[in-house]
Amino acid sequence: MTPGFGSLIQDVLWCFSQVKGTIDTGVTESDIISTVEFNHTGELLATGDKGGRVVIFQREQESKNQPHRRGEYNVYSTFQSHEPEFDYLKSLEIEEKINKIRWLPQQNAAYFLLSTNDKTVKLWKVSERDKRPEGYNLKDEDGRLRDPSMITVLRVPVLRPMDLMVEATPRRVFANAHTYHINSISVNSDYETYMSADDLRINLWNFEITNQSFNIVDIKPANMEELTEVITAAEFHPHHCNTFVYSSSKGTIRLCDMRAAALCDRHAKFFEEPEDPSNRSFFSEIISSISDVKFSHSGRYIMTRDYLTVKVWDLNMENRPIETYQVHDYLRSKLCSLYENDCIFDKFECVWNGSDSVIMTGSYNNFFRMFDRNTKRDVTLEASRENSKPRAILKPRKVCVGGKRRKDEISVDSLDFSKKILHTAWHPSENIIAVAATNNLYIFQDKVN
Amino acid sequence: SAQEAPRAAEMEDKVLSPEKAEEAKLKARYPHLGQKPGGSDFLRKRLQKGQKYFDSGDYNMAKAKMKNKQLPTAAPDKTEVTGDHIPTPQDLPQRKPSLVASKLAG
């Protein structure tokens, strides 16, 4: 089994592994998956949905008897993380939808993750219990109290094995710190702090303290009429605990250094690609809005996703990205209808593979795209029940832009814009990916020879 | 529709990028679309997500109007930032937490 390092797209054959969720003709809104995230070892895979629920899958141990079968992901724990609320003071309905889940690195037997909705971040502890004490003196096995006067013999309770129970408990609730809607959370490499970002502000928290947070970025103008841009995503540098980036609705990225000042309104670096003013249209700003920003594992690059492209930026070069990949440029001639049906505002995420050599992002019609940064090859794959035979190899898909459509191609006008892949995740070291297709979670792996 | 004719003539003069062609299409359908591209309208709408009532006056006006069973509707115009109509408590769906387990865990 080869790890994902240095793998080329044409050498990797992606195969169907598993699909979670039901085949429904109508999708219940609360079942829509809103975030997917592997933990740092890839042993656990968490999903959050619009109904405020978290489901965690665990990879089963690989069996020596079946070396050709890679470990499958089975349900490990599920819990209700957030519930709908109504803020009566502001007359604001607060959705329970889980916007993001981020894992903490494991430091003991228990697992910790942060989950957030629009307003409140929670730290959850997920732990196993496989033993329980038996043989109490003062209560019997059902828990009923025994009459002390009837006890004549003392015994020492012993721990006996029990069926594995996985419990999730909320350990911290970080509330009331965001006036606007939280779009990102990011755990710092110091493992002591994390940040939460909303449309206009970013706050820094200590995991131990829930009643205070430091505001580190505030772009709210004194006069809201002058509002021109909002924060769309934010992330800490993977190694430098003083550095973070945030992206904006105007397509720019700011890198900030917390050592420079307590309030990082002045950026240390400002990344923006120059635009040709003659190309400017009504849609320019909307499609340049960055929906996701991710540091590479190496910490040398950042990747951004806007409506039509994925861009890779070198931290040392602010004036333009070093790589630009077209996700679905054929949509440029559909912008009018995509604006009318609001699809132009869809927020796609993007991910790096473990070695930073391949990047992946979603599209419509349940298609997702991978770009190999070294060979410059790309591939379009589809998450579909039709390709869901075990270990079936995924066939590359192609969108036909006009002229003669070949047999296996799909025309732009036939694309299903309600089937959008906004959230994907890549295992930290292996070629295993998780793709959320509305209410279904697909897991794909590379072919093992 | 009457505005489409002069615009079509304009388009024939130069080759438009697909994006500009789409923009012309949109402006033909919504002639009153904001002059500022993208801009504050979208941002304000984004910041107001989840807002049910503007203020208590809004709420009481809506309750009074309910007597006539007439709900005011906004113009089907893309520049409007508010929703379709002023919601009343009866319109708001009961927000209850999901009691059903996720189907992913099934």
Render pLDDT for A190-220 as a digit per residue (tens, 0 to 9).
999 999 999 999 999 999 999 999 999 999 9
Instruction: Label each residue of chain A as H, E or C.
Output: CCCCCCCCHHHCCEEEEEEECCCCCCCCHHHCEEEEEECCCCCEEEEEECCCEEEEEEECCCCCCCCCCCCCEEEEEEEECCCCEEECCCCEEECCCCCEEEECCCCCCCEEEEEECCCCEEEEEEEEEEEEEECCCCECCCCCECCHHHCCCCCCCEEEEEEEEEEEEEEEEECCCCCCCCCEEEECCCCCEEEEECCCEEEEEECCCCCCCEEEEECCCCCHHHCCCCEEEEEECCCCCCEEEEEECCCCEEEEECCCCCCCCCCCEEECCCCCHHHCCCCHHHHHCCCEEEECCCCCEEEEECCCEEEEEECCCCCCCCEEEECCHHHHHHHHHHHHCCHHHCCCCEEECCCCCEEEEECECCEEEEEECCCCCEEEEECCHHHCCCCCECCCCCEECCCCCCCCCEEHHHCCCCCECCEEEECCCCCEEEEEECCEEEEEEECCC
Q: Which residues of A touch B17 (CB under 8 A)?
A: 279, 281, 332
Burial of residue B55 (number of CB atoms within 10 Å: 0-12, 13-18, 19+): exposed
Q: Which of A85, A336, A442 to mutate to test the interface with B (most CBs of B within 10 A)?
A: A336
DSSP SS3 for B4: helix
pLDDT for A36 equals 98
Is it the case that residue B71 has pLDDT exceeding 80? no
- Tokens for A394, please give them: 């995924």
Q: How far is B12 from chain A (nearest CA, A)?
A: 17
Please tell me the distance from the alpha carbon of residue A240 to that of residue A186, in angstroms, as a whole number: 13
Please tell me the distance from the alpha carbon of residue A127 to that of residue A107, in angstroms, as a whole number: 12
Residue A263 to residues A119, A269, A367, B22, Cα–Cα distance (Å): 21, 15, 41, 42
Task: Say how many Å lie between the first and final Cα of chain B, rounded.
Answer: 53
Render pLDDT for A336-394 as a digit per residue (tens, 0 to 9).
999 999 999 999 999 999 999 999 999 999 999 999 999 999 999 999 999 888 889 99
pLDDT for B31 equals 84
pLDDT for B90 equals 60
Render pLDDT for A252-279 as a digit per residue (tens, 0 to 9).
999 999 999 889 888 999 999 999 888 8
Contact assignment for A180 to B17 by CB distance below 8 Å: no
Report the residue from A47, A83, A96 with minimal CB separation from B104.
A47
State which residue of chain A sits closest to B93, comparing Cα positions.
A93
pLDDT for A343 equals 97
pLDDT for A66 equals 66
Q: How far is A142 from chain B (nearest CA, A)?
A: 28
Nearest alpha-carbon partner for A32 in A22, A19, A17: A22
Give the number of residues written for chain B: 106
Render pLDDT for A18-35 as a digit per residue (tens, 0 to 9).
999 998 778 899 999 999
Q: How far is B14 from chain A (nearest CA, A)?
A: 13
Average pLDDT, chain A: 93
Q: Which residues contact A382 (CB under 8 A, 6 or more apart)?
A: A365, A366, A367, A368, A394, A397
**Is A225 or A102 the better-scoring residue by pLDDT?**
A102
State which residue of chain A sits closest to B22, comparing Cα positions.
A336
Nearest alpha-carbon partner for A133 in A153, A162, A157, A154: A157
Is it the case that residue B47 has pLDDT exceeding 80? yes
Quick one: pLDDT band at residue B62, thresholds 50, 70, 90?
Answer: low
Render pLDDT for B21-38 as a digit per residue (tens, 0 to 9).
999 999 999 887 766 554
Contact assignment for A281 to B106 by CB distance below 8 Å: no
Contact assignment for B18 to A228 by CB distance below 8 Å: no
Task: Say how many Å lie between the first and final Cα of chain A, rounded.
Answer: 8
pLDDT for B4 equals 47
Q: Which residues of B touch A281 (CB under 8 A)?
A: 17, 19-20, 22-23, 37
pLDDT for A265 equals 85
pLDDT for A26 equals 84
Q: Which of B11, B14, B16, B22 to mutate to test the interface with A (most CBs of A within 10 A)?
A: B22
- Tokens for A283, please give them: 């849609």
Burial of residue B46 (number of CB atoms within 10 Å: 0-12, 13-18, 19+): middle
What average pLDDT does the segment A298-327 reach?
98
pLDDT for A255 equals 98
Phi then psi for residue B44, to 5 deg, are -65, -40
Please tell me the distance from the alpha carbon of residue A29 to that of residue A10, in angstroms, as a whole number: 37
pLDDT for A216 equals 97
What average pLDDT does the segment A44-64 reach?
93
Please tell me the distance from the alpha carbon of residue A264 to that of residue A262, in angstroms, as a whole number: 6
DSSP SS3 for B51: strand
Quick one: pLDDT band at residue A159, thresholds 50, 70, 90?
Answer: very high
Please tell me the distance from the alpha carbon of residue A346 to that of residue A336, in angstroms, as a whole number: 14
ipTM confidence: 0.76
Is it the case that residue B83 has pLDDT exceeding 60? no
Say if CB A429 and CB A418 are below 8 A apart.
no
DSSP B105: G
Please tell me the distance from the alpha carbon of residue B59 to that of residue B63, in angstroms, as a whole number: 6
Across chain B, how many H-helices and E-strands are there?
4, 0
Place of tokens 């013999």: A153
Quick one: pLDDT band at residue A10, thresholds 50, 70, 90?
Answer: low
Render pLDDT for A398-427 as a digit per residue (tens, 0 to 9).
999 877 778 889 999 999 999 999 999 999
**Is B54 or B80 the better-scoring residue by pLDDT?**
B54
Render pLDDT for A100-113 as a digit per residue (tens, 0 to 9).
999 999 999 999 99
Q: Which residues contact B39 (CB under 8 A, 6 or more apart)?
A: A228, A285
Contact assignment for B50 to A94 by CB distance below 8 Å: yes
Say if CB A137 and CB A154 are below 8 A apart.
yes
Report the residue from A52, A53, A249 with minimal CB separation from B43.
A249
Q: Which residues contact A307 (CB under 8 A, 6 or more apart)?
A: A286, A287, A288, A289, A291, A331, A344, A346, A348
pLDDT for A164 equals 92
Is it the case that residue B73 has pLDDT exceeding 80? no
Please tell me the distance from the alpha carbon of residue A338 to that of residue A412, in angstroms, as a whole number: 12
pLDDT for A290 equals 98
Residue A61: Cβ within 10 Å count: 8
Contact assignment for B105 to A75 by CB distance below 8 Å: yes
Quick one: pLDDT band at residue A14, thresholds 50, 70, 90?
Answer: very high
